Amino acid sequence: MSESPSHSHAHSHDHSHGPLPGETPVAVIACVSRVVARVIDRLTGDRVDYPLMVAAATAEALKQYGIESRVMYGKAAWIEVMEDHSVQWAGCWGDNFYFWTATQYGEVVDLNASVQCRKQGHTAGSLKGQYSPPMLWSAEVPKFYRYAPEGVAELELHDEKEQKKYDLVLEEIREKCTPEMIAGKEPEFLNEPILCPGRKLLDDANDTFKHFDRDLAVSGILSVPFEMF
């Protein structure tokens, strides 16, 4: 799969249109995060290797609710708790790009943050990550994440199998991410930690964020591994 930004569409430094007031409704966040994560995990085996597909699918799902968003590319980093309870930055910087979604409300949406410890970190060495930060859906970004957008990305799939996977992702999104599917229902979240607007933190059944937060409190936040701007 070719997950690369389309530089011809890069215009992230145009700030003439600021974020709109408001935030994505909790019911929409619950539905989009659950459906996108589950379908891409199911079709790819693990969404952690498909950040651009996840970001693009999130943007497509938000269209179903009339919410505008863009897929961003750039540098990104997050703190991971290692198996010895130490903390370190992992992510994509230097020659590596990461992808996430930015909503019309100025929210940063990263549905892959919570599973990043399944992937060997940027500077992990022999230690493996044990806890990652929560999925992120918030205009307020805590200091254990860093995102430095460089432009707007588009999903360009040159492999027929990958295109078929993404077509199935879109089909499921259009079926399950609709206003009718959430009307009058209690929001159902994925069993992964997620940070929602207003600093609302929902943990998973294993108290993953509780463990992450405890180890981070002991170690403190390290300096960022790259220049942000």
Asked if 57 and 40 count as a contact pair (C-beta separation under 8 A), the reply is: yes
Indicate whether 197 belongs to any domain.
yes
Domain count, the chain: 1
Question: CATH number of the domain that 174 lies in?
Answer: 3.10.550
Please tell me the pTM assigned to this model: 0.89
Indicate whether 168 belongs to any domain.
yes
Domain that holds residue 128: 23-219
Indicate whether 114 belongs to any domain.
yes
State the DSSP H helix or E strand holding residue 48, giving kind and residue range, or none if neither: none
Residue 223 predicted with pLDDT over 90: no
Asked if 93 and 206 count as a contact pair (C-beta separation under 8 A), the reply is: no
Indicate whether 8 belongs to any domain.
no
Indicate whether 180 belongs to any domain.
yes
Indicate whether 195 belongs to any domain.
yes
pLDDT at 16: 46
Indicate whether 18 belongs to any domain.
no
Residue 195 predicted with pLDDT over 80: yes
Cβ–Cβ contacts within 10 Å for residue 154, how many? Answer: 15
Asked if 24 and 111 count as a contact pair (C-beta separation under 8 A), the reply is: no
Cα 131 to chain centroid distance, Å, stands at 16
Confidence of residue 14 (pLDDT cuts 50, 70, 90): very low
pLDDT at 135: 98
pLDDT at 111: 98
Q: E strands of 85-134, at which residues?
A: 87-92, 98-103, 108-110, 129-131
